[in-house]
Amino acid sequence: MKLLAATNRYYLALAAVLFAVGSGALYVGVNHVLRHEVGEQLAVRRHEIEQQVRAGRPLPEPPFESGLDVRAGPQPLGFSDMLLRDTLEHESVPHRQLTFVVRPAAGPPVWVTVRKSLVETDDLVRVILTTMLGVLAALLGGAALLNRWLAGRLWAPFQHTLGALRSYDLQQHQPLALPTPAIAEFAELNLALTHLSQRLVADYENLREFTANAAHETQTPLAIMQAQLEQLLQLPALEHDPAAAPLLAELYGATRRLSRLHQALGLLSRIENRQFAAAAPVRLNELLAEKSQQLGPLLEARGLALHLRAPAGPVVHMHPGLADSLVHNLLHNAIKHNEPGGDVTAVLTSNYLEISNPGANPGGDPARFFERFRKHRATADSPGLGLSIVQQIGAYYGFGVSYTFEPVGRRHVLRVQFAPPPAP
Amino acid sequence: MKLLLVEDEPALRAVLLESLRPGGYVVEVAADFAQAYEKIKLYRYDCVLLDLTLPDGNGLDLVRALKADNSPAGVLIFTARDTLEDRIAGLDLGADDYLVKPFHLSELNARLRAIIRRRQFQGQHHIVFRDLLVWPEQAEVLVRGEPLMLTRKEYDLLLYLLANPDRVLTKEAIAEHLCGDAVDAADSFDFIYTHFKNLRKKLQEKGADNYIRTMYGVGYKLSSE
């Protein structure tokens, strides 16, 4: 729930409760006052009648049937309410009545009841209540609307900041550029966020530079190590020592792995650095054919069939090196995580390149396969950077890279969508 | 065959020198740009092996100088800079090949031989090794005059072996030579094994026995005895 909606809800609840209590109080209050007034009028009337009787005059004739009632028998004394039938309107009309005893100078005492219709007071209450409730309701609704409108206005800078944060991409190497809104809290927030992003960018730059330098600077010592190990392997003495040679070979293999890791990291870092500005038209179908030929021995060794469905195919504008790396990593990945006797199927259309292969359900979150150093098997020799590179290249050119596992036929499907898919 | 090796890192220079000498080359070395510049201005080389990042200059300027002098020398660049731009810049200037550090010495040997073959004999150079005669231009292999039918990969493999006779070639180096740089070593051993088996069998059928030796756990070696 939005903060504004939440506070609004509380305000509205409070107002509604006040509204209900207020309506009740108003009704009771007005009703009480009016009945009291009617009571007073009846008391005055009683006083008049008593005076009249005391003065020896006869009881007044009732002007209306309902106004005055004189009875010889005892009646309950005091105020009470009753309904009388209005013969004209044919409905029961509430009346307030006051019964008292008068003792005329001659004759027995009589019980006199004076009545007053409450119909007028009912109307009055209704008018008062309607007016008051209407005003209150308008106030309530107005407050809600005003709140909503104000919320939209006042929180606009916050929404803007939020939007900027959401679309913020550290790899653009730009700190956030947030305006300073008039409202102090938001201005402070924006200032703090701007500082934060500046620090982030600086740290990120440092890290990137370090990675790039480290990757570059370690190549030379690695080259020395590798070359010397290779020379060591040539020693004739090794031919007579079956234990030493494999040790050396393993060392040698490890330096190769290290240098491959460096190359992959260096490539990732350069993609993130956006160092691949030059783009050229790349014919993906030709590239696919070339790469599959290069990886032919691997396919052959594993007994994998390759199905290339790449007609003339699209021409994509990419850096040729990155296109090469993209296709290579996709194919290599499909070969590596395949089943014996399986196949690698590459489908190229003008919209996407899809490479699929059979395999066991990997389980887990597909999004995580693109993480760096994410390995299929913990002991695998590869550093697990292939799909990270694919994804980085995709992100660089705005391609959508997605992985799905199709339970039917148990196939891993990696798809690179060149253009955003048309809206369904 | 006279080579100039330009490399500023002493350890790497030494090991490169050591690996090149058995090939029968005369190798001179230069440790920096100034030395190298002087040498290429003074002497003629068949091939210059060149590191691009030098303490006092850019190796690409040496390529420019060689080309400006119309030098017939081949140029093999090796560098830690592996961006495509660097590669293209080097090759555009007229370098013959480009290797990214760290590289296999056997790969360097193979590429160096290819450059020298192209430069000196316009490709019309044959390689003789024991009973083998190879015409690289026609991709033709003869064993005692009889043609040997090889697949493309087997032929590449043989050529690679011939460029490094009597040298232990690691499985990694062979796999990368055949399949390109980025192949995981672990992936590739099984396919190398198959190719070697086939190549050996074909050589054996023609009576060329015991040319390829397996170095257990390490790799293979083309033996001249």
Q: Report which of A304, A366, A374 is spatially closest to residue A339, judged by C-alpha positions.
A: A304
B146-147/A68-71 β-pairing: unpaired
Inter-chain CB proximity A252 and B178 less than 8 Å: no
Give the closest residue to A15 by CA, choosing from A129, A142, A131, A126. A142
Contact B170 A319 (CB under 8 A): no
Q: Measure CB to CB from residue B191 to each of A275, A298, A319 and give the nearest one.
A: A298
Assess whether the previous peptide bond of A109 is cis (omega < 30° from 0).
Answer: no
A231 with B19: Cβ contact below 8 A: yes
What is the distance between the alpha carbons of residues A160 and A168, in angstroms, rounded to a whole number?
12
The residue of chain B nearest to residue A223, with distances taken between CA atoms, is: B102
> How many residues are there in chain B?
225
Query: What is the full DSSP assignment across B137-192?
Result: TTTEEEETTEE----HHHHHHHHHHHHSBT-EEEHHHHHHHHH-TT--HHHHHHHH
Helix (H, G, I), strand (E, B) or coil at B4: strand
Does domain A277-417 fall under CATH 3.30.565.10? My reply is yes
Are A305 and A338 in contact by the 8 Å Cβ rule? The answer is no
- Which of A245, A275, A300 comes nearest B218 by C-beta? A245
Query: How far apart (Å, rounded) are the C-alpha atoms in residues B155 and B171?
Result: 17
pLDDT tens-digit readout, A216-250: 778 888 888 888 898 888 888 887 787 888 888 88
Q: Which of A359, A343, A358, A348 is nearest to A415 (CA)?
A: A348
**What tokens appear for B12 in the block?**
């790497």
- Closest chain A CA to residue B11: A224
Closest by CA to A370, choosing from A421, A318, A416, A408, is A416
Q: Amino acid letter at B177?
A: H
Give me the residue from A256, A266, A336 closest to B187, CB to CB: A336
Q: Is B102 on the interface with A (CB under 8 A)?
A: yes
- Among all residues of chain B, which has the CA nearest to that of A320? B84
pLDDT score, position B198: 92
CB-nearest to B191 from A219, A257, A301 is A301
Q: How many CB pairs under 8 A join A and B?
A: 139
Tell me A67's DSSP state: T
Q: Does A381 touch chain B (CB under 8 A)?
A: yes
**8 Å CB contact between A196 and A165:** no
Mark the ranges of chain A whose per-residue pLDDT is less than 70: 1, 62-66, 171, 372-383, 420-424
Quick one: pLDDT at residue B197?
Answer: 92
The C-alpha of A309 sits at a distance from chain B's nearest C-alpha, in angstroms, of 23
- The pLDDT value recorded for residue A355 is 92
Instruction: Tell me whether A375 touches chain B (CB under 8 Å).
Output: no
Give contacts of B18 with chain A, Cβ < 8 Å: 231
Q: Are B193 and B133 in contact (CB under 8 A)?
A: no
Interface touch A246/B218, C-beta < 8 Å: yes
Q: Where are the alpha helices (DSSP H) in A155-243?
A: 156-166, 184-217, 219-233
Residues from chain A contacting residue B217 (CB–CB below 8 Å): 245-246, 249-250
Which residues of B, range 161-220, sit inside 8 Å of A by Cβ? 167-168, 170-173, 178-188, 190-192, 194-195, 215-219
How, if at all, do strands A305-309 and A343-348 pair? parallel
Give me the DSSP letters along A33-62. Answer: HHHHHHHHHHHHHHHHHHHHHHTTPPPPPP
Q: How far is A222 from chain B (nearest CA, A)?
A: 6
How close B29 comes to chain A (CA, Å)? Answer: 16
Hey, are the CB atoms on A231 and B105 less than 8 Å from each other? yes
Domains and CATH numbers, chain B: 2-121 (3.40.50.2300), 127-222 (1.10.10.10)
Residue matched to tokens 């409108």? A149
**CA distances for A307 relative to A238, A287, A401, B132, angstroms:** 45, 15, 21, 38
- The secondary structure element, H or E, covering residue B28 is strand B26-30
Report mean pLDDT in 10-residue bins for chain B, 225 residues: 90 89 87 92 90 87 90 87 74 87 87 84 73 86 91 89 89 83 65 89 90 88 88
From A269, which residue of chain B is nearest by alpha-carbon distance? B83
Using DSSP, how many helices (H) and how many strands (E) does chain A show? Answer: 10, 11
CB contact under 8 A, A242 and B170: no
Please report the pLDDT score of residue B149 as a whole number.
92
Q: Which site among B9, B19, B79, B84 would you substitute to test the A interface, given the most A Cβ atoms closer than 10 Å to its Cβ? A: B84
